[in-house]
Structure 1
Amino acid sequence: MLNIFIDTSTDFLILILEQNEKIIGQVHHNNARRHTETTLSTIMKLLSEHKLKLQDINNFYLTSGPGSYTGVRIPMTIVKTIKVINSVVKVYTINTLIYQAGLDNVISTLDARGEKYYFAVVSNGTEVIPSQLLDYETCLDIIKQFPGYEFRCDLQIVDLGQNYLALKKHFRLVDDMTTLEPQYLKKDWS
């Protein structure tokens, strides 16, 4: 089985090419604000480097958000198009904050700009406190309640390949592509 993981929910373009539980290729570029122009061409380049084609991929693994509004939509648009062309391809998703945490005990955050953060407390691939959009002070108050949990922000200190492999069983199969929707977190800050 040939699988590819795609994440563009933050400033980073993350691609992991995996075959039979072994990572055979990986891309991790700071690609801020260029995901729309470069994601598909970077996928094609990664596949070409391994003498593979898009048609060789059996499964797509994606993050579903939270994250950048456009960033969480790009991989979904790509795989929806591929699924129309090749209906046997399977698509799996996982929450970005869970992906960042892996199987560790983690306070997982992503910068949502404007002193707001996408925030979740995650243990062993499961949310202890569900993903939500919080202000900085609220994040600090919750962090104090979880001593011993590692703090991770914006996918910068993560072994991306290891987290992907460890979490494969936590990804959710998307049976109906019409249900493939980005996870947006919003809060009325008035």
Structure 2
Amino acid sequence: MSEINSQALREAAVAIETVATPQKLLAFRMKVTPQVVLALLDERDALNERLAELEADLAGLAEDHQKATESIKQADAAVKLAHEKFSALAAENELARKAVQEFCDVVGDSTEVICEEIGRDGVLVILEAMKATGNMPATDAFLAEVRAQGVEMMREHPSIKLCSLTHICDELAAQLRKGGNQ
């Protein structure tokens, strides 16, 4: 491809457009050679090819963006559903703890009467049972596993892979299984 003096071509074309004299027409024809026309056509073809490539890239990016947006919407819906379930579970757990506390209060207020009925050893058994209700390691472990599985599900979404956050999800799932919120 030969070097094209675009400015000289433009000036010659403008000069003819303003006033078309035989000298200006000849000057223009001298600048517009077959090589210049072919070079301009080659340049146009190259630009059209590049434009097609960029349009294809843009379409691919738009598709990736759409997938990522959909994944984010799905993840958001899953988080909302999980939040609703956890809130319901927490409310039930709170009711259970209150019921146990009320039972403990009644037992505490009636220790003498209960002691007369079931004896000292019976009261010790009740006290141990009441103490154990405050600890729920199996429930805590179950909830930690559910959370970890949720993180692992999130890890599989294309938007997470797109952002290279899979290692963070792996670390978070492992921490949840250990029972830590570190």
Indicate whether the TM-score tops 0.5: no
Q: Which has the higher strand share?
A: 1
TM-score range, shorter chain: under 0.3
| Structure of higher RCO (CA pairs closer than 8 Å, 6+ residues apart) | 1
Please, what TM-score do these two structures have when normalized by structure 2? 0.19
Which structure carries more helix by proportion? 2
